[in-house]
Structure 1
């Protein structure tokens, strides 16, 4: 078995992405689900955009905006912040590309909770953190686990976005999907099989429990 670093890098990226997205999406998903406001449909449409946008398009525009040749990239470069062709670039791209896989299930789960639950909480003058963490999350726990697993699995399978914004730097941006692509380019089918089989087993190991959670 050859170097497994691309697989470990994919796992690291997927865990970070799923965890950070959970933190970032929790309150916005709750707020959007429990409130009606003017920009709500616009926000949900923007969040869901990566579901239909080709990953190479998203990767291209991220590369353009974060490149040192662009205003934003040039501004960041003044502070020695580089967000292209490194692991940080992969994290940013993955957070955007996998956003709907975390936000949408949380939004749907929060929206499905009965209104009288929140009416009682308001009467008891419960704070928003109390309502979210002590009241809502235990009730939507299966949806939360499902969102985490789907976000993780989706990030594991990324190719176009990470290739555009991260390239292929060993130990830094060469994730499993890119390693498989390069193995095929070099007609190294043994290497491609090794990585693909391990990725298949990992993905199955994460997706199988999801079926049992859904049936609860």
Structure 2
């Protein structure tokens, strides 16, 4: 096991989930409740990272943030910030790629709440903000759990964008998925197998949490209907 790569992977997964949760929660609720005619376009853009090859996303991130670009040069000279082959750039790429994994489960959770529930809360004197905190969020927590679990699991297993944007710098951008690739290239199949098995087990655990959360939410909806 490459514990250095494991540390980078866990740090990247945790930071990605923490950064994505607040904007993902806001965007998911807006998508669930909004009747704006342009919403399908927003949802299509949100789904784009699921359809595009990771290397395509990584390629365009290199073009935008590389030192040869105007933005990359400005970030480097003004803020001393390098977003290519650095952990900061890896985190930015991870946030962009994982946005649909965070938003979709939370959106489904909010969409499943009957609007009459919100109306009853408003009639009872609760504001929109109070209704969100006291009524909606406690009922939608399985969706939040599923979004965080999927984001963490996908971040740990992401390879294409990680390699394109971060490379394989030990202790900084080399994640478990990249370490597995390096071990296979070096014909260390036993080492690659140990790390791959760890990722498989963690992914199974994350999926189990997602399905358990969905089942809990379905049971809650059934009780509400009764």
Shorter-chain TM-score: what band?
over 0.9
- Larger RCO: 1 or 2 (CA < 8 Å, sep 6+): 1
Q: What 5-or-longer segments of structure 2 have no aligned partner?
A: 217-226
Contact 1:7–1:199 (8 Å) recurs in 2: no
Q: Deviations over 1:139-167 (max 9, x none)?
A: 11212211111111111110000100000
Equivalent residue, structure 2, for 1:18:
17
* Cα distance between partner residues in 2 of 1:208 and 1:43: 29
Equivalent residue, structure 2, for 1:70:
69
Higher helix share: 2
* Cα distance between partner residues in 2 of 1:95 and 1:128: 29
* Cα distance between partner residues in 1 of 2:160 and 2:197: 20
CA 1:35/1:121 → structure 2, altered by over 3 Å: closer, same or farther?
farther
> Are 1:183 and 2:174 counterparts?
no
Contact 2:149–2:209 (8 Å) recurs in 1: no
Equivalent residue, structure 2, for 1:104:
104
CA 1:211/1:109 → structure 2, altered by over 3 Å: closer, same or farther?
closer
Runs of 4+ residues over 6 Å off in structure 1: none
Cα RMSD after superposing both structures: 1.6
* Cα distance between partner residues in 1 of 2:66 and 2:125: 48
Does the residue aligned with 2:192 lie in a helix, a strand or coil?
helix
- How far the C-alpha of 1:125 sits from its partner, in A, is 5.2
Equivalent residue, structure 2, for 1:32:
31
Q: Deviations over 1:4-24 (max 9, x none)?
A: 111121111111112221111
- How far the C-alpha of 1:27 sits from its partner, in A, is 1.4
Equivalent residue, structure 2, for 1:51:
50
Does the residue aligned with 1:184 lie in a helix, a strand or coil?
helix
* Cα distance between partner residues in 2 of 1:93 and 1:182: 21
* Cα distance between partner residues in 2 of 1:44 and 1:211: 23
Q: What 5-or-longer segments of structure 1 have no aligned partner?
A: none
State the TM-score, normalizing by the size of structure 1. Answer: 0.92
- How far the C-alpha of 1:169 sits from its partner, in A, is 0.2
**38-47 or 53-62: which moved more?**
38-47
- How far the C-alpha of 1:204 sits from its partner, in A, is 2.7
State the TM-score, normalizing by the size of structure 2. Answer: 0.88
Paired residue total: 215
